[in-house]
Amino acid sequence: MEEEPYNGLPRHVQFITFPEDVCIDEKFLAGNQRSSAPLYKTDISKFVTDIQIDPATRGVTDVAHTVVAAASSNGSSRASEFLQGMRCPSSAKAYGNYQDLAADSNVDAIYVATPHSHHYQNVMLCLEHGKHVLCEKAFTVNAAQTEKLVQVAREKKLFLMEAVWTRYFPLSIQIRKAIEAGEIGKVHRTFADLSLCKDVEKDFGTTHRMVNMDLAGGALLDLGIYSLTWVFQTLYHTLPASQRKAPTSVQSLITKYPKTGADEMTSILLSFPSGPAGAPYAHGIATTNLRVAADPDGRGSAGAAIRIQGTKGEIQVDHPAYRPTTWRIVRNAAVASEGKGRSLVEEHVVEMPGGGRGFMYEADEVARCIKEGKLESETLGWEESVVIMRVMDEVRRQNGLVYPEKLETLDYPIPHW
């Protein structure tokens, strides 16, 4: 059913995903409030399932989500099939190309989940048509592109956010609050790893997006962004905004996949000039690998995916780094013996309510930001996204990892893109 616009807030929300896949147009309804939400590039059906879960199951009453359209570059019939298969409202529209979506006056916000190689061009298309944007991670191929998108969004007064869904999980929020409260003392170090165990030649060959240089493939931009997310949200974001400083040193090593030149193993060591809870310095170690597993048996026997270490103990986060549900505080023996009802090990299990995967939390954030007239999210603002992109730029520079010029350029539009 088509309702009238609410108080000038977004009426329709359009999402873009892989060219061969479906994209979702969703609107948020909550009394007189409307806004937008995301689509995760490889889990379209899971995303749609998530946003149709009753928000009350996660204690949300200010926003709700309804799918109102889908699009596929393979034609509107593909989009129609998807909508029917997911039991979306019969009034949901089916689209066939992105240009028409961006030009649609009824569309207010677009979610971009194409390969990293296409983010800059796709987001520029959306911003130039006056649309708010939620863009998948990594934000772009390089920091200069992210800075340009931020500039355009600021000039046009449009909402723009990098879609790092892990940051919005209740688990992540709990951990950041524990660090800020000094639960583990002065925080000096974070280890973070996300690695797969793949037969790269067999599973990815030379054309799969994970190793395809023409799609900005490789471990760094696809998996390493999660490792860096944990380093930054624990050592950088937990400081007051006025005290956050970019790493003073970036050291790295990359091993390239011989068949394509994409990175298959990347290790990064960051030195921060200060850390949480008054630490005078902090180190972040972020690693990623396509050939070895962070969690070999899938049961956590190899230990935590993330270790955040302070002077009073450490916080451990179980696998997988992109969607953990268990974390714990392991206190120093001397601290635990002080009493005050504190145990040596304090474990927390934070399941996704309603059987959701977790996409709904990111969706809720975008909805609220647009509803409140914000241009960026406080949980992951433009400045922090740019800093992280600059770190990845430096890692690539140190190791001679360069993508094709058409992916690195600031030119827009690119002919025949």
H-type alpha helices, 104-185: 116-128, 143-156, 170-180
Give the phi and the psi of residue 338 in degrees, each rounded to 5. Answer: -70, -15
Q: How far apart are CA 367 and CA 23, in angstroms?
A: 18
Contact status, residue 134 vs residue 111, Cβ threshold 8 Å: yes
pLDDT at position 9: 38
- CA-based nearest residue to 318, from 328, 330, 329, 333: 328
Q: How far is CA 235 from the centre of its chain?
A: 18
pLDDT at position 340: 64
CA distances to 52, 82, 174, 179 from 385, rounded to whole Å, are: 29, 33, 21, 21
Burial readout 274-295 (b: 16 or more C-beta within 10 A, e: otherwise):
bbbbebeebbbbbbbbbeeebb
pLDDT per 10-residue tile (average), the chain, 417 residues: 33 40 42 29 66 90 77 78 85 78 77 86 94 92 98 98 95 98 97 97 96 97 98 98 97 98 98 97 98 95 97 97 97 77 89 92 88 96 98 98 97 85
pLDDT at position 220: 98
Q: How far apart are CA 214 and CA 406, in angstroms?
A: 9
Cβ neighbors of 23 (< 8 A, separation 6 or more) are 14, 15, 16, 17, 39, 70, 71, 72, 79, 95, 101, 111, 113
Q: How far apart are CA 300 and CA 296, in angstroms?
A: 8
Q: Output helix, strand, coil percentages for the chain, rounded to the nearest 5.
A: 35, 20, 45
What are the pLDDT digits (tens) for 119-130? 999 999 999 999
Q: How far apart are CA 180 and CA 171, in angstroms?
A: 14
Half-sphere exposure for 126 (CA within 13 Å, toward CB): 30
pLDDT at position 313: 97
What are the pLDDT digits (tens) for 168-226? 999 999 999 999 999 999 999 999 999 999 999 999 999 999 999 999 999 999 999 99
What are the pLDDT digits (tens) for 85-105? 888 888 777 778 778 778 877
pLDDT at position 185: 97
Residues facing residue 326 across a β-bridge:
349
User: Dihedral, CA atoms, 40, 42, 45, 51, nearest 10 degrees?
Assistant: -10
